[in-house]
Amino acid sequence: MSTDGKGPRVIVALDYAHGAEALAFAGRLDPVRCRVKVGKELFTVSGPALVERLVSRGFDVFLDLKYHDIPHTVAAACRSAAALGVWMINVHASGGRVMMQAAREALAGVQRPPKLIAVTVLTSLGAEDLREIGHSEEPPALVERLARLAAASGMDGVVCSAQEAPRLRQACGPAFCLVTPGIRLAGAAHDDQKRIVTPQAAMANGADYLVVGRPITRAADPLAVLDRINAEIGCG
Ligand code: C5P
């Protein structure tokens, strides 16, 4: 874990197709015990209004829109996202140094700027997929290269698998923020996640924040699962 920040370490992924469902579910959560993530599906259907409602309820919101475009466009998008009062936003590291620097500069004048995180390599891409789009490096080496580039371009951290966290912590230093999805409590359903890690192991590997979706959103008692995770990682 880095020296970065305080507060809840769990980010609950609000992967819902409708804003009303997401808001109803968020009503069962507690901003003191978790943060929340809004992704492309929910944002496309419910937009900034939903994000602002979550912010006004006291949640730290990770707006997971993975910007990847020309520097000017990404910078403008980051500025607009920051104006919503979100806590964390992200861009694709493969957009390059100039794009990431533009994103960073766009937040320079913002009073409480969101954390600016990069996506290195989508975990849905295997070695063969990467070769097909012109990458000769193996995925772990490419992930590290992009994480180092993200750090050098002013990013606050990266999204990565908890299995990659030790290598990236070593490469990018203690202040670099590592946000890890693919988290499952021991013995729980894997769903479609292939390389799962328990909350405790993820933190031991150096993760700062754990993105958790279905184990919490599909639980009969979401707060009980959240409390179990928080207890496991000694948080809250
Ligand atoms: O339900 P589950 O815990 O698998 O949800 C994980 C969340 O993290 C989802 O919103 C998913 O899109 C996101 N994510 C992921 N793997 C990545 C990057 C993001 O599962 N490599």
pLDDT beyond 60 at 39: yes
User: Does the CB atom of residue 69 touch ligand 1 within 6 A?
Assistant: no
Taking each continuous run of H as one helix and of E as one strand, the counts in the chain are: 10, 8
Calculate how far, in angstroms, residue 207's C-alpha sits from the geometric centre of ligand 1: 15
The CATH number of the structural domain formed by 10-232 is 3.20.20.70
Compare 2 and 144 and report the one with higher pLDDT.
Answer: 144
User: Does the CB atom of residue 36 touch ligand 1 within 6 A?
Assistant: no
User: Does the CB atom of residue 13 touch ligand 1 within 6 A?
Assistant: yes
**What is residue 27's predicted lDDT score, i.e. its pLDDT?**
96
Rounded to whole angstroms, the Cα distance separating 136 from 88 reads 31
User: Does the CB atom of residue 199 touch ligand 1 within 6 A?
Assistant: no
Residue 220 carries which side chain, given as an amino acid letter? A
Calculate how far, in angstroms, residue 67's C-alpha sits from the geometric centre of ligand 1: 17
CA nearest ligand 1 atom 2, residue: 213
Collapsing DSSP to helix, strand or coil, 103 comes out as helix
CA nearest ligand 1 atom 8, residue: 181
User: Does the CB atom of residue 2 touch ligand 1 within 6 A?
Assistant: no
CA nearest ligand 1 atom 6, residue: 213
**What is residue 123's predicted lDDT score, i.e. its pLDDT?**
86
**What is residue 77's predicted lDDT score, i.e. its pLDDT?**
98
Residue 189 carries which side chain, given as an amino acid letter? A
Collapsing DSSP to helix, strand or coil, 77 comes out as helix
Report yes or no: 191 and 18 within 8 Å, Cβ to Cβ: no
**What is residue 43's predicted lDDT score, i.e. its pLDDT?**
98
Atom of ligand 1 nearest to the CA of 217: 1
Question: Burial of 146 by CB count in 10 Å (0-12 exposed, 13-18 middle, 19+ buried)?
Answer: buried
Atom of ligand 1 nearest to the CA of 184: 3
pLDDT beyond 80 at 2: no
**What is residue 5's predicted lDDT score, i.e. its pLDDT?**
59
pLDDT beyond 60 at 3: no
The domain locations on the chain are 10-232
Segment 181-198, tens digit of pLDDT:
999 999 888 888 877 899
**What percent of the chain is predicted at pLDDT more than 70?**
97
149 has which bridge partners?
Answer: none
User: Does the CB atom of residue 213 touch ligand 1 within 6 A?
Assistant: yes
Segment 199-231, tens digit of pLDDT:
999 999 999 999 999 999 999 999 999 999 999
Rounded average pLDDT over 53-57: 98
Rounded average pLDDT over 51-55: 98
Rounded to whole angstroms, the Cα distance separating 193 from 229 reads 18
Segment 107-137, tens digit of pLDDT:
999 999 999 999 999 988 889 999 999 999 9
Segment 83-111, tens digit of pLDDT:
999 999 999 999 999 999 999 999 999 99
Which active-site residues does the annotation give?
66
Compare 220 and 4 and report the one with higher pLDDT.
Answer: 220
Collapsing DSSP to helix, strand or coil, 44 comes out as helix
Report yes or no: 140 and 164 within 8 Å, Cβ to Cβ: yes
Mutate-to-test residue for ligand 1 from 211, 212, 216, 225, highest number of ligand atoms within 8 A of CB? 211
**What is residue 195's predicted lDDT score, i.e. its pLDDT?**
79
**What is residue 1's predicted lDDT score, i.e. its pLDDT?**
46
**Residue ranges with strand state E in 70-220:** 88-92, 115-119, 157-159, 177-180, 209-212
Calculate how far, in angstroms, residue 109's C-alpha sits from the geometric centre of ligand 1: 31
Q: Within 10 Å of residue 120's Cβ, how many Cβ atoms?
A: 24
Calculate how far, in angstroms, residue 193's C-alpha sits from the geometric centre of ligand 1: 8
Question: Burial of 24 by CB count in 10 Å (0-12 exposed, 13-18 middle, 19+ buried)?
Answer: exposed
pLDDT beyond 70 at 9: yes
Rounded average pLDDT over 36-59: 98
Backbone phi, then psi, for 178, in 5-degree steps? -110, 120
